[in-house]
Structure 1
Amino acid sequence: MTSETTYVHAALLDVLGYRHRLSQDRQSGSLDFKDALQRAMTVLSNFNEAEFSYQAISDTIIVTCARRDGFVELLKVLKKVVLGFLAEGLFVRGGVTYSPHFKSSHVTYSHALAVAHELESKTAIYPRVVIDHNILEMFKVANETKSITDAELICERNGVHFLNIIDPDNWAQAYKWAREMFAREKTFLLRKEQEFLKHSWFEEYLFNSPHRKPDVERYIPTMTLLRPDPPLPSARPPTTEPVAAMQEFAQRAGGLRPSTPLPSRKTKANSRNKKRKQLP
């Protein structure tokens, strides 16, 4: 490593559903997805570039902070970015780490981005931004965790720490955005379990938040037990008499008038007996 290589907090974010939305634009001949990306990215334009740097390439967004004590501020930036994309109907998944990083106009050499990418692709799984546990250990050893816990920007489950984007003021809005996104994509999600799981996890995240509204219902249907289909309604009750059934068929086909009964076997036998009696 050169002397110019420094440790930075680095976040690598992946915009989920990028190819699907791009395909929709190609098929419809519109620029809706491009416009949504531009609106979401305006959040980054208001940040202090002296503290944070960012770049966006296709479906990937990279945000770095060179200040060791800028970790909480970086999380606040990422929270705004994730919410900005959610407002445009887009989920974001990512990873955050603190590792060596070097970038010039020609070369990017970064352990930080490699680790962040690994967290995003292998650990995050759902629409969340996973935080390297080594960052928390670093601040814990230095007894500097109070500012982190006070900010309430980190959740933990099963030993995995990830960015908390929900607070008392935005729960209802985040719920509305997520619900609208699911409603738009419901048909596309049918039988696509990996994509469906992202929505299911995010709903679970919302309703596990201490800031959830008690009178709000879930928007994803729960599992149901398979039941037999109801019987189809019959136009008229079926008849059990074979002669009546034949008459009904003939009437529909136009072969017999309603007043013309079909001769039964007994009628035919009586007719033959009468003819025999009339013979000399």
Structure 2
Amino acid sequence: MESTWSYGAVAFVDVLGFSALVSSDSKSIEPLHLEKLRALLGNVKEASPNLDVRAFSDCITIAAPLTSDRVAHLFESVISLQRLLVGGGVLVRGGVAFGKHFADDTLVYSEALIRAYLLERDKARFPRVLTDPDLLDWYFHNDDTTPELADAVKALLLTDRDNQIFLNYLRPGDLEQHLAVIQAYKVDNATPSVLEKVQWLGQYHNFVAQSVDSPHVFSGPMLDGFREVIVSP
């Protein structure tokens, strides 16, 4: 990463349920989740040598210079990271934005990071990584964005019902595994926050499943709605 105050694109990814992962590891001799996260980040770094990948506490950032090919690579890397984490039962949400950015071994000083963080904090809400409309406007109208690069990034995006555009990480071939991750959540111990996240995840899952006529469709009380009150005798 160039140590200059110049424009860059940054992804800010929040690991949901991070405190529960740390609490679980703290009760074990060997920190299972720690090693899993380290391995996943190592895979992303190895596959993205031209990007700046960092992790601190429950946050992961990936930064790239503001060029069309690097931004496309950034989107692909964030999707790969989310796919790996969700496949391991770890949900994330985040934002990708652009702005002035500086980073070296000591300091990260970044308008882009702040904009990505605010996008995650204020608008992501569900297990999705949102893309800043200003970044997409720059990308699709930049002279260096070839038709091939434009088509490649467009294929990575979906528009949600609130008109937010997010990165589409779910591949048809991953539907069976993804369904198992969702089904691991049980309605009996679901908090309102967990419930809304699982409901969104199930609806997103079913959108992809129905688009390819897959039998791996999510259903059940976590998604389907209300139940009558049962009083024990």
TM-score (norm 1): 0.71
Match of residue 255 from structure 1: none
Greater mean deviation of Cα atoms: 54-63 or 210-219: 210-219
Matched residue SS, 2:127:
coil
| Aligned CA distance change for structure 1 residues 125 and 227 (closer, same or farther; 3 Å) | closer
1:136-189 Cα shifts (integer Å, max 9, x gaps): 211343474843344410111222111000223323332233333x25xx5542
Specify the code of the residue in structure 2 equivalent to 1:148. A
One-letter amino acid of the counterpart of residue 54, structure 1 = V
2:170 is aligned to: 166
Matched with 2:57 is 58
5+ long unaligned stretches in structure 2? none
Partner of 1:137: 137
- The farther-off stretch of 53-62 and 37-46 is 37-46
Q: Which moved more, 1:100-109 or 1:123-132?
A: 100-109
Distance in 2, Cα, partners of 1:62 & 1:197: 25
- In the TM superposition, what is the alpha-carbon distance from 1:30 to its structure 2 partner? 4.8
Tell me which of 153, 165, 168 is aligned to 2:156: 153
TM-score by length of 2: 0.84
Say if 1:211 and 1:67 are closer, same or farther in 2 by CA, change over 3 A: same
1:212, CA displacement in angstroms? 4.9
CA distance in 1: counterparts of 2:196 and 2:96, whole angstroms: 22
Q: Could you say which residue in structure 1 is the equivalent of 2:32?
A: 32
2:146 and 2:227 map into 1 onto residues whose CA distance is 47
Q: Distance in 2 between matches of 1:201 and 1:195?
A: 10
Number of aligned residue pairs: give it. 223
CA distance in 2, matches of 1:75, 1:29: 36
Higher-Rg structure is 1
Aligned position for 1:111: 111
Deviations 1:51-93 (A, max 9, x none): 2111111111110111411222211111110011112210011
Aligned match of 1:244: none
Where does residue 193 of structure 2 map in the other structure? Answer: 194
CA–CA distance in structure 2, aligned partners of residues 102 and 10 of structure 1: 11
- 1:102 is aligned to 102
Aligned counterpart, 2:226: 224
Paired amino acid for 1:226: E
- Structure 1 residues 39 and 160: CA distance shift in structure 2, 3 A: same
SS at match of 1:170: helix
Distance between the aligned counterparts of 1:93 and 1:145, measured in 2?
A: 29
- Calculate the aligned-residue CA RMSD, in Å: 2.4
Is the counterpart of residue 86 in structure 1 residue 89 in structure 2?
A: no
- Long gaps (5+) in structure 1: 233-280
Higher RCO, Cα 8 Å, sep 6+:
2
Identical amino acids, percent of aligned pairs: 22
TM-fit CA distance, 1:36: 2.5
Cα distance in 1 for partners of 2:82, 2:180 equals: 15
Q: Determine the C-alpha separation between the residues in 2 that align with 1:163 and 1:20.
A: 25
Q: Does 1:9 find its partner at 2:9?
A: yes
Structure 2 Cα separation of the partners of residues 42 and 188 of structure 1: 33
The residue that corresponds to 2:123 in the other structure is 123
With over 3 angstroms needed to count, the CA separation of the structure-2 counterparts of 1:104 and 1:217, relative to structure 1, is: closer
Contact 2:54 2:62 (8 Å CA) reproduced: yes
